[in-house]
Amino acid sequence: MSFAFTPEEQSRVEVAAFLGIHLDPISYVDLSTIIVLGTMYFFEFIALCYQLRNRDYLPLRVKNVPVMCSLYVGGVSWLLGDIFTGGLVHLGQSPVLRNCKFTAIWLRICIGAYYVTSLFALRCYSLYYVFCKGKAFRGRVMLISLGVAGLSIVAFGGVSMVLPTRMTVWYEEILDMCNYNHTYVLCVLLVIWAIWAYTAVMTWKMRKIPFCFNERVEIFTSFGILLVVSLLNSVCLLVFSVYPAYLGWRTALLYTNHVGASIGYWVVMWEPTYACLFHRDEYLQYWINILKEDHMEREYEYSTNLNPEITMDLIEYPDISFKERSTLGSTTISDIYTANVQ
């Protein structure tokens, strides 16, 4: 897999120019993009392993670590699909990469973009279900929601696979890249915008709802990320039908898609992960205290796992903040309370 400007690459650029297409050659800029985003996902993998190992820690458990793990898998699939179909690598030497129906429809669109954006939308719906309906988002409701999203994605992918190649996506040998049918692109983008519209509706319904933790940031972040991703993908796929030929556009699209997905992931997982690593017991006490004050114990389903000592501390000293606890290290809640009283 060469990123140098070889005679073969020069010939590809000249053929594209003859066809009236400006083609930026595959270069070390593309390699650096792959390395940077690959490194980002590598560090996220390390963090994910830590989160899975500590998935019984209550503030992490309510974030549904297995679902967030599947979000990570979807992000990796999306990255591979973007790399293989976005003009960053040569496809001609590998029969797998030349199979654009697989790399574009499954890796990039279905398992990647659709699944990741659907999880952002489902996250908004789960918060709506908890804070507007006052019910825990678990059990049958969660399974049905995930099932509907998953089956819809599989159905779209299955229908796309049985359609004739020229109606979806195919390998353009003369340019060594995947090419999309314009109508199919419109259908793909229509689904993306439908997911964003659903997220917008959920965001609007929850605009005045008081939240327990940083859920408001999660909602507006998801809304903003989906909007930016939808806009840039629409511009690249509609305005520049062969956007992989342009170095600037293909680079911008990859960074937008995957930095956006990473931000969405960490907005949800950063606080409980950091607290679990550095302030495990103190944050847990603070977390339970907030739930008790907001009467959200049932919705967050924490009561069966309480440490009796923690519960007693919270009942006796409910006004001790996490900030006070975390700055005092191993100091007990009793010590803080005594100091405040004095």
87-to-24, 152, 219, 254, 285 alpha-carbon distances in Å: 9, 28, 33, 11, 50
Radius of gyration of the chain (CA): 24
Q: What is the pLDDT of residues 8-54, one digit of tens each?
A: 889 989 998 998 888 999 999 999 999 999 999 999 999 999 999 99
pLDDT at 342: 37
Whether the predicted pLDDT of 337 surpasses 90: no
Which has more pLDDT, 200 or 241? 200
Whether the predicted pLDDT of 297 surpasses 90: no
Indicate the residue type of 205: K
pLDDT at 210: 64
Of the candidates 44, 118, 34, which has an alpha carbon nearest to the alpha carbon of residue 84? 34
Whether the predicted pLDDT of 274 surpasses 90: yes
Whether the predicted pLDDT of 313 surpasses 60: no
Residue 179 bridge partners (DSSP)? 170
Average pLDDT over residues 206-214: 68
Residue pair 287/258 in contact (Cβ under 8 Å)? The answer is no
Q: Is 306 left (phi over 0), alpha (psi -120 to 50) or beta?
A: beta
Residue pair 117/229 in contact (Cβ under 8 Å)? The answer is yes
Whether the predicted pLDDT of 207 surpasses 80: no
State the pTM of this model.
0.83
Indicate the residue type of 161: M
pLDDT at 34: 96
Provide the pLDDT confidence category of residue 216 given band limits of 50, 70 and 90: confident
- Structure tokens belonging to residue 23: 């083609």
Residue linked to tokens 């739930």: 291
* End-to-end Cα, the chain, rounded Å: 70
Whether the predicted pLDDT of 296 surpasses 60: no
- Structure tokens belonging to residue 148: 């509907």
Which has more pLDDT, 341 or 320? 320
- DSSP H or E segment with residue 296: none
- Structure tokens belonging to residue 309: 């000592």
Going 146 to 151 to 157 to 160, the CA torsion angle's sign is negative
Which has more pLDDT, 252 or 299? 252
HSE (CB half, 13 Å, CA atoms) of 170?
Answer: 11
Whether the predicted pLDDT of 329 surpasses 60: no
Indicate the residue type of 15: V
Provide the pLDDT confidence category of residue 212 given band limits of 50, 70 and 90: low
CA distance 82 to 60: 30
75-to-88, 186, 187, 204, 239 alpha-carbon distances in Å: 17, 22, 21, 27, 25
223-to-3, 210, 288 alpha-carbon distances in Å: 36, 18, 28
